[in-house]
Structure 1
Amino acid sequence: MTLLYTEVEEELRAAVRDLLADKSSSSAVLTRVDGAASPGGMPYDMDLWKALARDIGVAGLLVPEELGGAGASAREVAVVLEELGRAVAPVPFLSSAVLATTALLGAGDGVAVRGLLERLASGETTAALAVSFAASPYQPLSPAVTLDPSPEAAPMPDGAGAASTVAPVSPMTPGVDGTATGRVTGVVGAEAADVLLVPVRLSPGDGVALCAVDVSAAQVTTLPSLDLTRPVATVSFSGARAEVLGTVAGVRDALLLGAGLLASEQLGVAEWCLNTTVAYVNERKQFARPVGSFQAIKHRLADLWLEVVGARAAARNAADLLGTDAEVDSSKVAVAVAVAQAYCGAVAVHAAEECVQLHGGIGMTWEHPAHLYLKRAKADEIALGTPGDHRQALTEPADLPGPVS
């Protein structure tokens, strides 16, 4: 294991950072946030997303090469998330290229799955996993959407003639159509998606499956969100046509991978806040001296630097274990993910709070981007499991007593 960045990872970082510097500056993100508040405004920058997907190929990092992807590992995805966190870029990378893609990879090897993965890898299509962004990877999946099989998937009634001798198609068979009914709250990336991947409960029966629903067949209602650059939505289905893709086995993997890699985004947020604050206090003067020369400020920033260094180690460890091709004890992966999320979430929030406070009056204004980072950090802290969820999850694999309530 090595936590150092490889040459390939540094090249990927440079490409993403250059593109974001050119197309997603802080002023551009603030302008988009202002525009998204108006009727018909779009919070996501789809032109930037297409450029990332087309020019750099980030949309297909986790997709196998035979399906047009890069066949990369979680380590490369983590590098991209660091840069997107550093820029609070309003793109659906986490929702489409990580969560939705991982759920698809675990759904099976059907024709529909392979075709959708090819379209995702090319950037032609964007997907969203219709699961609450606050869902914990440690809780059992309980679909809120029901799939009723279409007539051709249902058994033929007795006395229907010769057709009654044809064996009925199982509702679980990939490629079978049905109608989805239900509502999922707190879905991230739905506004930017072309296809929704929906865990459903099969009716009749107690089975579950993963289905694909065209976003035009669902009602997506954007809700007021703390994070202005990554809104959440309520997605409602009322007899929406759905196609069964396969099993939901990949959904839990997607939530666990997403939680582990979200730590890298939180690392990017914390690094931007630290670097920006250090630069500011070295320029801002009081009593004819740079504010950064005051001992109290030095101590606060030194403590924050140590926290960020620790966050980098935790995030890189999680990405490395999630991305290894070798057989790794699942308990080691679970510990790495839980440690990274429990620690990095708090570090990102602390770094953003210090950024706002040490910028003084300008840090409190809407025109300065510091509030975007604070809101992203606070929203990420409760996404894919709270720090408490992850600390509780550490008790069994680490053989430690649970937190005392």
Structure 2
Amino acid sequence: MDFAFDEDQEELRRTVRAFLEATAPEAETRRTMETEAGYDQALWRRMGSELGLQGLAIPEEHGGAGAGPVEVGLVMEEMGRAMLCAPYLASAVQATTALLHSDDEEARTELLPALAAGEQVATLALTEDSARWNREGVTLTARAGADGGWLLDGHKTFVLDGAQADVVLTVARATDGIGIFLVAGDAPGLTRTTLPTLDLTRRQARLEYRDVPARRLRTRGDGWELVEVVLRHSAVALAAEQVGVASRALEMAVEYAKVRHQFGRAIGSFQAVKHLLADSLMEVESARAAAYAALLSAQNGEGDLPMAASLAKSLCSDASVKVTQDNIQVHGGIGFTWEHPAHLYFKRAKTSQLLLGDSAYHRELLAQAIGV
């Protein structure tokens, strides 16, 4: 498999990195994560209007660039490096993937242009109090309304950017199976509460539904099949972000090991630190290989995507946590302080490890996929 990116893709990476270095430094991340929205809405619109990042995977007829998962993954990797506060995973990956793979051209025409331009944010509401990412975890109910629409009752939790989203794609159980329902963020009967989380740079919310009006997204078959597609593409994109988080954490550790001196020597010259950094490098490069392979599988529509996605998610999750922990270890006491960014990377890594299912869950999915 060829892991080399073409010149356009490398230019995309360079452009995004330069943009984020200029607009989203650490100080801006710390400011943004304390705001009510949890992200800079003006910057979000610039990302759409100037760079077209939200519309990368959206076809040109709907206002996007017509690119694919590889380009989205490269952007996610750079956003992980920058620790960007933005609803990109929720809106540009999860919600957009659901719309693109649905059988609902009307919904695509209505929603995708605004999502591509950064004018609106959408998200996917799946998990509930059981925190299960499978079909059995869906208990929120949908019943037919008098006007031909649907009414939803129940709750969702751990919804990415759920309190800020303009549109919530809600997974619910109807009499004929699982469906995905379009809910306006300000719909009557919908209560949204921001959750306290370890990672302040990525917002999550609890949503309560009381006879909430909704429109059912048309799908080619059972709605759960579409949910599985979304989860796989989301896992691959998140794995790419985890590579970015781990890569930047390793760079921080190496930079500090070169300038921090003890006993008249740079700490990077000590064997214990050398071994720790060498192990971190192996973790990063192994994770990068798994993430890039999964991105190519998603891009090419290959049948091994379920295996590639779970392999990448489990490996990149563990690598990201390990490398960000090692970064704190290399920094010593200063790495534990609020003022140092090392803890931001560790917290992002730890919450991402659990998001979309933890490493053990994805190893189980991988074992099932290969028939073990």
Which residue of structure 1 aligns with residue 208 of structure 2? Answer: 236
Which residue of structure 2 aligns with residue 102 of structure 1? Answer: 97
Which residue of structure 2 aligns with residue 337 of structure 1? Answer: 309
AA at the equivalent of 1:315 = A
Which residue of structure 2 aligns with residue 157 of structure 1? Answer: none
Which residue of structure 2 aligns with residue 353 of structure 1? Answer: 325
- How many residues get paired? 365
Say if 1:219 and 1:103 are closer, same or farther in 2 by CA, change over 3 A. Answer: same
Which residue of structure 2 aligns with residue 11 of structure 1? Answer: 11
Say if 1:283 and 1:86 are closer, same or farther in 2 by CA, change over 3 A. Answer: same
Choose from 286, 289, 302 the match for 1:310: 286
The structural deviation recorded for 1:289 is: 1.5
Which residue of structure 2 aligns with residue 29 of structure 1? Answer: 29
The structural deviation recorded for 1:295 is: 1.6
Which residue of structure 1 aligns with residue 177 of structure 2? Answer: 207
Which residue of structure 2 aligns with residue 189 of structure 1? Answer: 161
Give the Cα separation in 2 of the matches to 1:298 and 1:340.
Answer: 27
Give the Cα separation in 1 of the matches to 2:213 and 2:371.
Answer: 47
Residue 152 of structure 1 aligns to a residue in which SS?
coil
Query: Where do 5+ consecutive residues of structure 2 fail to align?
Result: none
Give the Cα separation in 2 of the matches to 1:336 and 1:244.
Answer: 30
The structural deviation recorded for 1:53 is: 1.6
Say if 1:196 and 1:141 are closer, same or farther in 2 by CA, change over 3 A. Answer: farther
Alignment deviations for residues 207-247 of structure 1 (CA, whole Å, 9 cap, x no partner): 33222111112211011111111121101111222122213
Give the Cα separation in 2 of the matches to 1:195 and 1:397.
Answer: 33
Residue 216 of structure 2 aligns to a residue in which SS?
strand
Alignment deviations for residues 32-73 of structure 1 (CA, whole Å, 9 cap, x no partner): 33x34xxxx332222222221221111111212221211111
Which residue of structure 1 aligns with residue 341 of structure 2? Answer: 369
Which residue of structure 1 aligns with residue 121 of structure 2? Answer: 126
- For the 8 Å contact 1:73–1:324, the answer to whether it is kept is no
Which residue of structure 1 aligns with residue 363 of structure 2? Answer: 391
Query: Where do 5+ consecutive residues of structure 1 fail to align?
Result: 154-176, 401-405
**Which range moved further: 246-255 or 358-367?**
246-255
Give the Cα separation in 2 of the matches to 1:5 and 1:136.
Answer: 35
Choose from 244, 247, 254 the match for 2:230: 254
Alignment deviations for residues 87-128 of structure 1 (CA, whole Å, 9 cap, x no partner): 111100000000111111222133133211222122222101
The structural deviation recorded for 1:399 is: 4.2
Cα RMSD (Å): 1.8
**Which range moved further: 113-122 or 376-385?**
113-122
**Which range moved further: 312-321 or 104-113?**
104-113
Which residue of structure 2 aligns with residue 169 of structure 1? Answer: none
Alignment of 1:275-314 (within 5 A): 275-314=251-290
Give the Cα separation in 2 of the matches to 1:99 and 1:89.
Answer: 17
- For the 8 Å contact 1:199–1:211, the answer to whether it is kept is yes
Which residue of structure 1 aligns with residue 40 of structure 2? Answer: 45
Which residue of structure 1 aligns with residue 140 of structure 2? Answer: 145
- For the 8 Å contact 1:141–1:252, the answer to whether it is kept is no
Which residue of structure 1 aligns with residue 295 of structure 2? Answer: 319
- For the 8 Å contact 2:99–2:107, the answer to whether it is kept is no
Alignment deviations for residues 155-190 of structure 1 (CA, whole Å, 9 cap, x no partner): xxxxxxxxxxxxxxxxxxxxxx23222211111121
Larger relative contact order (C-alpha < 8 A, sep ≥ 6)? 1
AA at the equivalent of 2:12 = L
AA at the equivalent of 1:313 = A
Alignment deviations for residues 65-90 of structure 1 (CA, whole Å, 9 cap, x no partner): 22121111111111001001111111
Say if 1:208 and 1:307 are closer, same or farther in 2 by CA, change over 3 A. Answer: closer
Say if 1:214 and 1:397 are closer, same or farther in 2 by CA, change over 3 A. Answer: closer
Give the Cα separation in 2 of the matches to 1:189 and 1:141.
Answer: 24
- For the 8 Å contact 2:73–2:236, the answer to whether it is kept is no
The structural deviation recorded for 1:149 is: 2.6
Q: TM-score, normalised by structure 1?
A: 0.86
The alignment status of 1:245 with 2:245, answered yes or no, reads no
